[in-house]
Amino acid sequence: MDEPLPRLAAGLAELAVMTGVSERTLRRWAREHGMPTCRVGGRVLVVVSDFVAWLRAHRELRDEEVDAALERAIRGGNGVSP
């Protein structure tokens, strides 16, 4: 059986479920801290590998949510691959 492909991108609602971080926090990170997003049509998407790299680079924010989200993303289990 073929392995499923890793998630390449996710909407904010999907990313919130994957990381356990609220959509509101994700929007704040994008607005205030430059979390990478892109618009496709009317939808805001996040390239998962860019998001994980951004989380790693922004651990200095000392935001407990960043640390927790990075741990969940690195552990995987929701289609997120580092």
Fold of 9-75: Arc Repressor Mutant, subunit A (1.10.10)
Predicted confidence (pLDDT) per residue in 1-32, tens digit? 567 767 789 999 999 988 888 899 899 889 98
Predicted confidence (pLDDT) per residue in 19-78, tens digit? 888 899 899 889 988 999 999 999 999 999 999 889 888 776 656 666 677 677 766 644
Domain boundaries, the chain: 9-75
pTM for the model stands at: 0.70
Count other Cβ atoms within 10 Å, centred on residue 53: 13
Dihedral sign computed on CA atoms, order 23, 27, 33, 39:
positive
**Tokens in use for 4?**
């499923």
